[in-house]
Amino acid sequence: MTRYADAEKTQLRNVMSGVDWRHQTTKVLKHWMLIAFAFLATAPIALVVLNSVKTRRAIFRNPYHLPNAETFDLVGYETVFEKSQFHVYYFNSLFVTLTALALILLFGTMVAFALAEYSFPGNNLLRLFFLLGIIIPIRLGSVSLLRLIVSLDLIGTLWALILVYIAGGLPFAVFILTQFMSQVPSDLKDAARVDGASEYRVFWLILPIIRPATGTVSAISIIPMWNDLWFPLVLAPGEATRTVTLGAQQFMGQFSNDWNALLAALSLSSVPVLIIYFVSSKQLLQGLTAGALKN
């Protein structure tokens, strides 16, 4: 019996070692895949930043080399600040993006609270309406939006962009926030109501609980608004209302491009997005993980 027991232990040990080896191999492969994906995602940004501080000849001759004493040149950044109102473009983009994002979060949380908390006729229809806003691209209605903005006498203003971005960002915000609002324990809200809190007070009390969801919405919504070129070109193309993305286009000509200035402008335009991502990355990961694990 002892011989058979030892044989079973040896066989079990071999099986477990094989399972552990496969587990380690799978783990290593997953990490290498993530590293490769991270490299593919960050390499274009790194190339833009590196080439923005190089001479024009070095950009075309050795685009993948690091700048050295001979190739280092800040002429692109000098051109950006001397020959354009880049500080105005930066302010316009910040004002439009942050204002639209704040209103998206405010209106989105209000709508999500109503949809998750109250049952009323048309609740599911309203959810479907916002879901269609995610499926159908807002650019398909560019002509109608242009007519509407002209009728409101907002053409050529930053508020035209803000209104369009709010309309484009609300469906996604409502879709994500409604799921999180419905997962807030009812006992918490009922306890607040028993203590005499109004519905507005209950709404403000549960906002800190869904902070991961608001972080997720902020991180995902801010990138397309900051990088958008279409609506600034259509609704606010004037010099005083240009955004960063539209302002960078002035360094692109019909027959030639000022690559130094263009790469410098693109490098500067990526700074706020990277800062916002690093600040809200923790909330973004928490929101995505919570949405994946909760029913």
Which pLDDT tens digit goes with each residue over 29-64?
A: 888 888 888 888 888 888 888 888 888 888 888 888
* Rounded Cα distance, 101 and 242, in Å: 19
User: Is residue 76 very low, low, confident or very high in pLDDT (cuts 50, 70, 90)?
Assistant: confident
In the numeric block, which tokens belong to residue 247? 């302002």
* Rounded Cα distance, 185 and 237, in Å: 48
SS (HEC) of 3-72: HHHHHHHHHHHHHHHHHHHHHHHHHHHHHHHHHHHHHHHHHHHHHHHHHCCECHHHHHHCCCCCCCCCCE
* Rounded Cα distance, 191 and 273, in Å: 40
Q: What is the pLDDT of residue 13?
A: 59
Q: What is the pLDDT of residue 73?
A: 86
Q: Judge whether residue 9 has pLDDT over 70.
A: no
User: Is residue 186 very low, low, confident or very high in pLDDT (cuts 50, 70, 90)?
Assistant: confident
Q: What is the mean pLDDT of residues 103-122?
A: 89
Q: What is the pLDDT of residue 291?
A: 47
Q: What is the pLDDT of residue 170?
A: 92
Q: What is the pLDDT of residue 134?
A: 86
pLDDT digits (tens, 9 = 90+) for 139-181: 888 898 999 999 999 998 999 999 999 999 999 999 889 888 8
% the chain with pLDDT above 70: 85
Q: What is the pLDDT of residue 292?
A: 44
- Cα 168 to chain centroid distance, Å, stands at 13
* Rounded Cα distance, 160 and 231, in Å: 9
Q: What is the mean pLDDT of residues 170-197?
A: 86
Q: What is the pLDDT of residue 46?
A: 86
* Rounded Cα distance, 41 and 214, in Å: 25
pLDDT digits (tens, 9 = 90+) for 200-242: 888 888 888 888 888 888 888 888 898 888 999 999 888 889 8
In the numeric block, which tokens belong to residue 201? 């007070």
Q: Judge whether residue 284 has pLDDT over 70.
A: no
Residue 57 CB contacts under 8 Å (≥ 6 apart), including other chains: none
Q: What is the pLDDT of residue 118?
A: 84
Q: What is the mean pLDDT of residues 187-197?
A: 83
% the chain with pLDDT above 90: 18
User: Which residue would you say has higher pLDDT here, 139 or 283?
Assistant: 139
User: Is residue 189 very low, low, confident or very high in pLDDT (cuts 50, 70, 90)?
Assistant: confident
* Rounded Cα distance, 82 and 61, in Å: 27
Q: Answer yes or no: pTM beyond 0.75.
A: yes
